[in-house]
Structure 1
Amino acid sequence: MSGLSTRTVLVTGATTGVGLETARLLAGRGATVLLHGRTPEEAETAVEHLVATTAADSARLRPYAADFAHLAEVESLARRVLRAHPRLDVLVNNAGMAAPERHTRTADGNEIALQVNFLAHYLLTCLLEPALTGEPGGRVVNVSSSLHRTGSIQWSDPHRARRYSRLAAYAQSQLALTVFAADPRVTAVSVHPGVCDTALLPLYGLEGATPAEGATHVVRLCDPAVEIVNGAYYEGDERVEPAPAAREERTVRRLGRLADALVGRAA
């Protein structure tokens, strides 16, 4: 029996691309999968698609919705998940977007790629910490990008209001997500699933592997049989060194303070 058959996994951004294929593979191995989508309709459609195209048990697929451009919806999502699933084995922080051509802020005041790709996941992870750490073995898998190596966190201007570049904004969001994996509150790893043929492909300018191929690398790290070290970074199935900032305790702490302030959790 698969080590995932008793696991409950929340996958953000599970309606298309690598997220949908991750949900498909997890469901095929017997996991209870919470599929997050931006809207209820998108999440429900994804569940219906998996039920129609796989042998997955529909009772073990649950749709959840939240628009990560609105932090209040992230908080609502966390409350709904905690009520229904006081124990959560794995959180896959996968939802992501390419930064837009023009500098864009959310209603919360944050640069949109920073919020959708990092801050929403930061907030969700913090709020779900009780469910992830209530019993041994809970883990977080951050779906990051090799482009995090080209990024820098602009501490004095995290929203890049003074000098905006869509590639720099995207890289910053991926670096922040990768640094966050080393936060000691919840055991977490980051994985670059490879360049895949998804909506993010134009950022890389290359041909991509199928989303299903990328998803195999994510699902491997969800399996309790695969031992992980907090803060580890993988490219595909290979553990490699992340950008130096992702190994610096001072940067991890500083990012936590910045993120707390930006999501409204500051003391």
Structure 2
Amino acid sequence: MSDSPIMLVTGGSDGIGFETAHRLLAAGATVILHARTAELAELATERLVEAGAEPLRLHQAVADFTRLGEVTEMAAQLLARYPRLDALVNNAATAGPPHRLLTEDGHEVTFQVNYLAAYLLTRSLEPLLAKASRGRVVNLSSSLHRGGNLNFADLDRARRYTRGAVYAQSKLALTVFTTALTEAGRPAVSVHPGIINTSLLKHYSYRGRPAADGAEPVAHLASPHTAVLDGGYYEGRVPAKPAPVVGDRRAALRLWKVSARLTGVSA
């Protein structure tokens, strides 16, 4: 473990997360595969080993992102087990339900799973990222973030809810968080992997490329050997222009502080 990069991929039990873990393992990394349940983590592990992954470089982490307490518990376990973290890939996401639903923590479920859980996990794992020579965060964004807006007075969408709007908001928040991370000195990028045939596709498009295609730029950007534009937004491997608010330092700071309050993390 000490010689290979240590990388955590959230939402690694299927889709882009699974294929990203597969690519990172093939490149010689030690991969911590996160899944929502132990059963899903075990099934994904079995599939990766059958595909040729070295078992000693494949570890598991479990947390249901609809429960922030489980995110905190998982982070504590990782802090106790690993000497550093070379890359954190925040991939876990949900398309959200057709009607507004709150988690046990009191947040709109799409906003929590796609953004707040990633914020909490990233902030909690900062000690491990800091122990790497240049611990990197890769946030899975979407081109749909450009259609989102951050209504700080109603982030949980009590007044107006549509599945598409809350998904776009969650991806916009994650992309703005990328800016905030770099302002705080943590190398980070966000990436739209393309229109990919995953479980989310049916809600936003009719056809997409294989998950392995979407994983390729994600694994590339996560690699410590890849030079990246800190705070950059990528579409595939290519830097692209994000929504204007992504470059707004005041908006990034405000989101950081609000997210800290909502997740109980010190700002």
Q: Which category of TM-score, normalised to the shorter sequence, fits these structures?
A: over 0.9
User: Match for 1:170 among 158, 167, 170?
Assistant: 167
Alpha-carbon distance in structure 2 between the residues aligned to 1:28 and 1:52: 13
Alpha-carbon distance in structure 1 between the residues aligned to 2:234 and 2:206: 20
Task: Give 2:95's aligned residue.
Answer: 98
Match runs of 1:36-55 below 5 Å: 36-54=34-52
Tell me the secondary structure at the aligned position of residue 205 of structure 2: coil
Deviation at 1:200, TM superposition (A): 0.9
Deviation at 1:44, TM superposition (A): 1.3
Amino acid at match of 2:85: L
Amino acid at match of 1:141: V
| RMSD, matched Cα | 1.1
Contact 1:195 1:204 in 2 (8 A): no
User: Match for 2:107 among 93, 107, 110?
Assistant: 110
Tell me the secondary structure at the aligned position of residue 191 of structure 2: strand
Tell me the secondary structure at the aligned position of residue 182 of structure 1: helix
Identify unmatched segments of 5+ residues in structure 1: none
Amino acid at match of 1:145: S
Task: Give 1:22's aligned residue.
Answer: 20
Match runs of 1:236-251 below 5 Å: 236-251=236-251
Alpha-carbon distance in structure 1 between the residues aligned to 2:133 and 2:245: 28
| Higher mean C-alpha deviation, range 248-257 or range 182-191 | 182-191
Match runs of 1:128-207 below 5 Å: 128-183=125-180, 184-185=183-184, 186-207=186-207
Contact 1:21 1:215 in 2 (8 A): yes
Amino acid at match of 1:262: L
Tell me the secondary structure at the aligned position of residue 63 of structure 1: strand
Q: Cα gap change, 1:147/1:16 in structure 2, threshold over 3 Å: closer, same or farther?
A: same
Alpha-carbon distance in structure 2 between the residues aligned to 1:130 and 1:37: 22
Q: TM-score, normalised by structure 2?
A: 0.96
Amino acid at match of 1:71: L
- Are residue 65 (structure 1) and residue 54 (structure 2) matched? no
Task: Give 1:265's aligned residue.
Answer: 265
Deviation at 1:223, TM superposition (A): 1.4
Alpha-carbon distance in structure 1 between the residues aligned to 2:233 and 2:256: 19
- Are residue 224 (structure 1) and residue 195 (structure 2) matched? no
Deviation at 1:92, TM superposition (A): 0.2
Deviation at 1:266, TM superposition (A): 5.3
Alpha-carbon distance in structure 2 between the residues aligned to 1:130 and 1:9: 14
Contact 2:88 2:137 in 1 (8 A): yes
Amino acid at match of 1:44: E
Deviation at 1:39, TM superposition (A): 0.4
Identify unmatched segments of 5+ residues in structure 2: none
Give percent identity, aligned residues only: 48
Residues paired across the two proteins, number: 262
Task: Give 2:215's aligned residue.
Answer: 215
Tell me the secondary structure at the aligned position of residue 141 of structure 1: strand
Alpha-carbon distance in structure 2 between the residues aligned to 1:199 and 1:260: 30
Contact 1:143 1:192 in 2 (8 A): yes
